[in-house]
Amino acid sequence: MKKLLSALLTASLLSLPGIALAEEPQTDLPKAEAPKGEDLPRAEPASQVQVIEGAPLGNSNVYVHIVEKKPYTNAGRHELVLYPAFAQLNAKFTTHVGVAASYAYHLFENLALQVTPLFNYVNQESAFNQELIDKGHQQAQAATALLLQYGGVAGMEVTPMYGKFAFYDGVLGHFTFVLNAGAGVGMTRIQLRPEQTTNCGPNSEDPNNPIECRKASFGATGAKFLGSVGAGFRVFLGERAAVRLEVRDMIYTARVDRINGCSYDDLSSVLTTGQPLNSSCDPNTFTNPDDKQLAKLLLKETSSDVLNNISFFTGFSFLF
Amino acid sequence: MTPLLRVASALCLLALAWPGSLRAAEPEKVVVRNRQFAVDGKLEGNLGVGLTVVNYLTDHTNLSGSLAYNFTEQLALEVGGGYALSRHTNVADAAAHEVVTADPSVQQKKVNDFSDLWQMGWSATGALRWAPIYGKLNIAAELPVHFQFYLLAGGGAGGMSRDSLVYCIGSPVNRKSATCSPSESGAADNLTPLHSSAIKPLAMAGAGLRFFINKWSGLRLEVRDVAFPDSYRVDILRVDSEKDVGAASGGDASATAGRQADSPGFTHLVFFQIGASFLF
């Protein structure tokens, strides 16, 4: 038993980098006498051990034990994350650019509870969608082009992988691979009319029939269930700071049957009699006079979809 | 500087100045520097398949192969080629259908063709690859995996083809059932789309990870942007284009309706690529 303990102690000492920093590692350390038949880390002859700055790196078992050592622990810590910019990657019919923040409490080393509010300061239909309208007289269905204004999700994050990297041979970095998932609520809207800034006003193609320059107009489509799944890397800058690089899929269910509280029947009534059928519909919420007509056209066919808004998040973490 | 950037910078400085920050221990540094998988001076063969990440009017599946020589642990020169299987998306087909079924004497008399409609066939590229980061990660505290992160940039040439969605040649008997698709060639009421082909210069940039499986093989995951100059016609009078029989066989060079766009820009094909890497 004593021999076994002695061998384990010796192997542990050899695998500790701090201990291995001795200038002459091949001398002075007690020799291990491993019992026959035991599967212990195999100590290589001193002449064959490749020593780089004192670390015995020739033994492949040493790699495993050292790579498991974490200089930064997560358990019991709080984490605040600011994402100053995230941008939609699958910007086919919609374009989103936003800002988000996140708070996480690390229950265990590999599990955290997380809350993430987000706000898309750019949320509009894509240039491709506009090209389809202009050239092909085609348009994505209302539900497919639903825009996410702001929202929040709460969930959890797991850290199944931990690693280290070196930039050339100089800078050492530590990182974790994170997976997160959550659920929440998001406020949505739909674009009724795109912004018109060219070929309008005095620059109209037909000066006798000038086109009015105007901003884009939108209609509110209400709160929708919001789900989130994501994956990414958290690269530590030190014990209390990290950079986060993540891809998140914000999933929201989209069924568009009302715009600004007005159904198709409400808008038909407003356009003919000036009064909606339901009190939830306020015609004054439409910015431009012809927005009601555009909203009615979008509601002519009730559409539904499940949207995947995949975005790349860059953020900065502060741990305390 | 925006307020958000100011807050981020302040947080960064605060965190870096906090006691205990940046306490990377020297022994760990030397361990991660010791590369279990060295590539310096090695030849390398790669095989991969890439899918376009977002499909607007076309989608591509690119089968590729390359040979590389690693001058150092960080730098390599890579030459390769590929062939992309490509097609129009449903959105493109729907747009073409909408245009061709409209009577050109009444609706959509003058049209502009769509941008980003070229489809890549073969491609030949050369690239410089820079892998400044070598790392290890530990899966579930049991399996250490070694990897390289790399950036690459280069150029080359590609064989491109294009079938217009709005320049349709022919006279349909029944306008409502008309189509304008190369895949329905010979069908009743199918008009012939203006076909173009060209060899175009390519610019390429990407980033990826190579996970080492053993000393001679690895798995590559990569995102690669292939860009090339776009070109398309605008101000097309559809009445004229439908009668432009010479362009049906002569292609874009023989087309008489409309003109080339002044500033067509570049088409970007962004591929997510997965592949195997073999070191010799």
Token pair of B251 as six digits: 């292609």
If you search the block for the tokens 């020297």, which residue do you land on? B26
**Residue B113: C-alpha distances to residues A128, B43, B163, B168, B191 (Å):** 13, 45, 10, 11, 16
In sequence order, the 6+-apart residues with CB closer than 8 A to the CB of A297 are: none
How far is the C-alpha of B72 from the C-alpha of B208, rounded, in Å?
18
Per-residue pLDDT of chain B (280 residues; tens, 9 = 90+): 455 555 555 554 444 444 444 444 444 444 455 677 888 889 999 999 999 988 899 999 999 999 999 999 899 999 999 999 999 998 898 888 888 888 888 877 788 899 999 999 999 999 999 999 998 887 766 778 899 999 999 999 999 999 999 898 888 888 888 888 877 777 777 888 999 999 999 999 999 999 999 888 999 999 999 999 999 998 888 888 888 888 888 888 888 888 889 989 999 999 999 999 999 8
How far is the C-alpha of B123 from the C-alpha of B48, rounded, in Å?
14
Please check whether residue B89 touches A, CB under 8 A: no
> Residue B50 CB: number of other CB atoms within 10 A?
24
Contact, B139 vs B84, CB < 8 A? no
Q: Are strands A111-125 and A147-167 parallel, antiparallel or unpaired?
A: antiparallel
Q: Which among A129, A164, A308, A317 is the top mutation candidate for probing chain B, defined by the most B β-carbons within 10 Å of its own β-carbon?
A: A164
Q: Between chains, do A132 and B95 touch, taking CB under 8 Å as contact?
A: yes
**Residue A266: C-alpha distances to residues A164, A269, A279 (Å):** 60, 5, 9
Token pair of B109 as six digits: 């008399």
Residues from chain B that touch A52, judged by Cβ atoms under 8 A, are 30, 33-34
Contact, B90 vs A134, CB < 8 A? no
Q: Closest to A166 (Cβ–Cβ): which among B32, B91, B96?
A: B32
> Residue B245 CB: number of other CB atoms within 10 A?
13
Q: Are strands B119-139 and B192-214 parallel, antiparallel or unpaired?
A: unpaired
Global pTM value: 0.75
Q: Between chains, do A172 and B28 touch, taking CB under 8 Å as contact?
A: yes
Q: Which residue of A has its CA nearest to B22?
A: A238
In sequence order, the 6+-apart residues with CB closer than 8 A to the CB of A97 are: A85, A86, A87, A88, A120, A121, A122
Please check whether residue B61 touches A, CB under 8 A: no
Residues from chain A that touch B16, judged by Cβ atoms under 8 A, are 237-238, 241
A79 phi, psi to nearest 5 deg? -140, 125
DSSP label at A218?
Answer: E
Token pair of B247 as six digits: 């362009």
* Mean pLDDT, rounded, for A121-136: 84
Please check whether residue B16 touches A, CB under 8 A: yes
Of A232, A205, A250, A268, give the one whose Cα is nearest residue A87. Answer: A250
